[in-house]
Every structure is written in structure tokens, then in C-alpha cells.
Amino acid sequence: MTRILEPDLEIIDPHHHLYPMSHWVAGGKPFLLQEFAEDLNAGHKIVSTVYIECSQLYRQTGPAHLRPAGEAEFSSVTARLAETGHFGPARVCEGFVGTADLMRPDTLDEVLDALDHASDGRLRGIRYPANWDPDPQINPSSRPYAIEGVMLDQTFRKGVARLTARGLVYEAFQYYPQLPELADLAAALPDTVIVCNHVGGLVGKRGYATPDNFDNWKARVLDLAQRPNVLMKLGGLANERTNFGFSLRPEDIGEDELVDTWGPYIQTCIDAFGPDRCMFESNFPVDRCATDYVTLWNVFKRIAAGYSPDEKADLFAGTARRTYRLQ
């Protein structure tokens, strides 16, 4: 059995998904509350989680722009089940980040109202994936690429500004070459809270598999960190686009290898943004392709070993609690 490091350190997992059926899970099995609870109760002190949209259980009827409210209902039902205490003490899905078309100002407020209502008031932000690359094979997802340069579009920016007016976070997912566009968006909307996913959207395969890729990524991260309204999520590094090869290996990756591989990227982000603007994320079950939930948090704790108790409190719970307005 894996030894739990710092078992009393409170953790808020600010980035996970749930799937009725998932290709991210071996055999295409479900990853729902029952499966997630096994991870949450395995030894680390997980006190709360934030569900991040992943295109699940959309409504099958009604206006197309309101169908993502089905995912908000899904997260809310999960949260209410978790509140019974039968699945452990964690406040699962205490926060919800949904999706809405930020390029549709005519329907945006209606969608935000629907998401907030369907989530029982748990809506904390909107993720509108902006990932784009000239190489179509960089994208491993079934989702299509966003429009090139969408974060520079004035209609898009007006949509993000509506989130700000409603006290919602803009949850940013793009690839790291697009970070200058995200930095420009952050500068144009300084009152908007922006949470950058997955250490900026690291890409390491195909044309990015070069000796200077780390330096190229780092330069953009350091520049983004100059925008004080941007926060960084630390994780999401198991995806095959990073080119670490973990998803291709049949066995779980050990703690030492993960610390050595992921540590430089995570440490760079913490040094640039500071612990009060960083939060560790599981990205489960997607990152299950590298290791199990217990080992993942051990890896993060080892990477953060040199920080003070107050800094660790921010990295593992405090930043997420403030950002997503959790208990």
C-alpha cells in the first residue's frame, strides 16, 4: 500500500471530470461519484473538489445553446449525493465550471442563468477551450480546434467581460504557443480572474519535440505571470501531447520518475506566479494514464516539499478556495 505523505494537509482538487462512460478509463468504464470516492478516500485529506466541464450529459432536447445545462445538472446531482456523507467527507463538486459560447453575446446571459440554476448556484466559471495549432495532429481530443486567434477577437473579449460582471472565472485552456494571446487578453481585462489550465497547455510532440521546447514554454509562462489577474493550475501533464510517453506505457509510473519529469515545469510555474496564484490539480481521470490518485498527490507533495506550511496551504487548498469561492 502506498504511504501517504503529509496526510493531514488539506487538499481541494480544483480540476477533475466525471464520465458515465469514458475512453480515459480502462475498458471505457464509468468514472462517477462511486469510482471517484474510492480515490478521494484512499488516504489524502481531500476536503472539496471542483468539476470542470467535459461535454458530458448534455440535454438531448430544447434549444441547442442551453443543452450544456445538462452537465450542470449532472454535477449538481453528484454534489447532492456527496452531501449525504455516504461517499466520504469530501464536498465533491462543490464548485462547477461549465461552458458557454463566448462568441454569442445574444444568448450568453441566458446560458449563464441556465447553468447557474441547473448547478444549484455552484457555477463558478466558464471554460471555453481556445486551443489551436497549425498542426492538426497536436490535438488528441474529439473536440475540434477553436478559431485561430479567438482570444484576440473583440466579440470573445466582450463575452469574457460578461463573466467578470457576473463574478465568474474565465477558465483558460489553450496550447502554450498561444500564451501571448492569453496574456494580451489578461492585460485588456485586468479585472477578470483567469485560471490557466495545465501549466499553460504544454505541448512536446511532433514539431515541438526540440531541445529548446522547455525554454520556449518557460519564456511564455514567465511573461504570462506578469499579469496579476492570472492564476496557474499545476497538473494535466500526463496527456500524450506532452510527449512524456506515460500514456503509452502499460504500467503506472513511479513517484521518482514523475517528480523528476514534472518537477521542472511545476517549479517554474510556482516560482513565476507564487504559491498564492497556483493550485495543484488532479485532472482525473484523464491523468490516470500515468499513475493512481494517491501517487499523484504524493508526487505533488514531494515537488512542493521545500515550501513553508502557509505556502503549501495555498498550493493545495487556499488558492482554489479563494478562486472558486468554496467553504
Higher pLDDT: 252 or 23? It is: 252
Taking the C-alpha atoms of residue 304 and residue 311, their distance in angstroms, rounded to an integer, is 9
Taking only the tens place, the pLDDT of each residue in 153-170 is 999 999 999 999 999 999
Quickly tell me which residue has 505571470 as its cell: 225
State residue 30's pLDDT score. 95
Taking the C-alpha atoms of residue 74 and residue 119, their distance in angstroms, rounded to an integer, is 8
Could you tell me if residue 160 is inside a domain? yes
What's the sign of the alpha-carbon dihedral 34, 29, 286, 258?
positive
| Full residue range of the structural domain in which residue 102 is found | 10-323
Taking the C-alpha atoms of residue 230 and residue 213, their distance in angstroms, rounded to an integer, is 23
State residue 247's pLDDT score. 83
* Cell numbers for 90: 469530501
State residue 31's pLDDT score. 96
Could you tell me if residue 215 is inside a domain? yes
Band (pLDDT 50/70/90 cuts) for residue 176 is very high
* Cell numbers for 160: 469574457
State residue 142's pLDDT score. 75
Contact 44, 4 (CB under 8 A): yes
Please state the domain count of the chain.
Answer: 1
Instruction: Tell me the angle at which helices 33-40 and 293-303 cross, rounded to the nearest 10 degrees.
Output: 40
Mean pLDDT value across residues 252-259: 96
> Is 238's pLDDT higher than 80?
yes
**228-253 b/e with 16+ CB inside 10 Å = b?**
ebbbbbbbbbbbebbebebbeeeeeb
Band (pLDDT 50/70/90 cuts) for residue 1 is low
State residue 207's pLDDT score. 98
Could you tell me if residue 226 is inside a domain? yes
Contact 247, 289 (CB under 8 A): yes
Contact 24, 286 (CB under 8 A): yes
Taking only the tens place, the pLDDT of each residue in 78-97 is 999 999 999 999 999 999 99
For residue 234, the surrounding DSSP H or E stretch is strand 230-234
Could you tell me if residue 1 is inside a domain? no
What's the sign of the alpha-carbon dihedral 132, 22, 124, 277?
negative
Burial of residue 65, with CB atoms counted within 10 A of its CB: 0-12 exposed, 13-18 middle, 19 or more buried: middle
Could you tell me if residue 4 is inside a domain? no
Taking the C-alpha atoms of residue 277 and residue 273, their distance in angstroms, rounded to an integer, is 6
Mean pLDDT value across residues 112-125: 98
CATH number at residue 160: 3.20.20.140
CA 68 → CA 79, 114, 118, 127, 149, distances in Å?
Answer: 17, 9, 10, 12, 24
Could you tell me if residue 286 is inside a domain? yes
| Greatest C-alpha distance within the chain | 54
State residue 27's pLDDT score. 74
* Cell numbers for 123: 457555477
| Torsion angle of the four alpha carbons 136, 137, 139, 145, in this order, in degrees rounded to the nearest 10 | 10
Mean pLDDT value across residues 237-252: 92
Comparing 167-181, 209-223, 237-251, 292-306, which segment has the lowest mean pLDDT?
Answer: 237-251
State residue 25's pLDDT score. 75
Reduce the DSSP state of residue 93 to 3 states and report it: strand
Average pLDDT over the chain reads 96
Q: Whole-model pTM above 0.85?
A: yes
Taking the C-alpha atoms of residue 76 and residue 84, their distance in angstroms, rounded to an integer, is 13
Closest listed residue to residue 32, CA positions, set 95, 99, 100, 87: 87
Could you tell me if residue 3 is inside a domain? no
Higher pLDDT: 129 or 23? It is: 129
Burial of residue 43, with CB atoms counted within 10 A of its CB: 0-12 exposed, 13-18 middle, 19 or more buried: middle
Mean pLDDT value across residues 21-38: 88
Quickly tell me which residue has 515541438 as its cell: 208
